[in-house]
Amino acid sequence: MPRHVQVNNIDHKDLRVDTRRSAALGDDVSFAATFPAEFRDLQAYYPIVFRKDARGALSPVALLGFQEAQNLFLADTGWDAHYVPLAIERQPFLIGRDGDELTVHIDLDHPRVGTGTGQPLFREHGGNSDYLDRVASVLLTLHNGLERVPAFVEALLARDLLESFVLDVELDDGSLNRLAGYYTINEERVRALDAGALGELHAAGHLEPVFMAMASVSHFRDLIERMNRSRAGGP
């Protein structure tokens, strides 16, 4: 069970966070939540698709694997991409509130948290470490970015630009794998938009992330190659 508490320099002066990347430290996930302003960084490495949450609301994610708890970007040397999604980087921290103020909380039961090795949260005399300042910046960026997701998705749905898809993959070892339950942006419908609709998307700041998400789906080929290598015992 997660145990979330607000970070402070008295109770947590000796806490450290292990920032290595591994399945044992909680990185064995097949997708990471994201937001339009992050698409430019993500699209260089990951397919950006959409999925429904438990309430049926669609939101964008960076796809990391084809199966539950499968992260094809984990290697013996750590994370095998130059950019780690912010939703992954922020672990084991999360945004909390103290009245109207946003605060940094930590999951004390997360496998990254301890008092041995890792990044300290505070300096010797109580000030925030550079690491904790970076965490606070990541959390704020995530918070602000995720708040803009509903308007982005609504704009796509209003123009019927999202469609469900199924990807059937036959690997080099002959095994068949299916990716389902996700949605992508329909490129033909985007190309068919008139100047007025394109102008509205651009004015709202939605057009660039639309193009970034469409470009990112070329990385499905990379994911398939990563899965082939993992099945063959390669890096």
Percent of the chain whose predicted confidence (pLDDT) is above 70: 98
* Best CA proximity match to 48, nearest among 183, 180, 231, 192: 183
pLDDT tens per residue across span 81-114: 999 999 999 999 999 888 788 999 999 999 999 9
Query: Percentage of residues in the chain with pLDDT exceeding 90?
Result: 78
Quote the pLDDT of residue 235.
Answer: 55
Mean pLDDT value across the chain = 93
Report the 10 Å Cβ neighbour count for 49: 23
- pLDDT confidence of 149, banded at 50, 70, 90? very high
Averaged pLDDT for residues 157-178: 90
Tell me which of 68-72, 151-155, 182-186, 206-210 is least confident: 68-72
Long-range CB pairs of 134-138, under 8 A, 24+ apart, other chains included: 135/90, 135/93, 135/104, 136/104, 138/86, 138/89, 138/90, 138/93
Residue 234: the pLDDT is 59
pLDDT at 90 (0 to 100): 97
**Looking at per-residue confidence, does 229 or 130 come out higher?**
130
Q: Is the pLDDT of residue 116 over 90?
A: no
Q: CA 38, CA 61: separation in Å to the nearest integer?
A: 10
Higher pLDDT, 145 or 231: 145
**Predicted local confidence at residue 182, as pLDDT:** 95
CB–CB of 196/204 below 8 Å? Answer: no
Mean pLDDT on 197-226: 96
Residue 64 neighbours by CB distance under 10 Å: 24
pLDDT of residue 160 exceeding 90, the answer is yes
User: What pTM was estimated for this model as a whole?
Assistant: 0.92
The tens digit of pLDDT for each residue in 171-186 reads 888 888 888 899 999 9
Residue 233, pLDDT > 90, answer no
- What confidence score (pLDDT) does residue 59 get? 97
Query: Residue 1's pLDDT is what?
Result: 66
Amino acid in the structure at residue 37: A
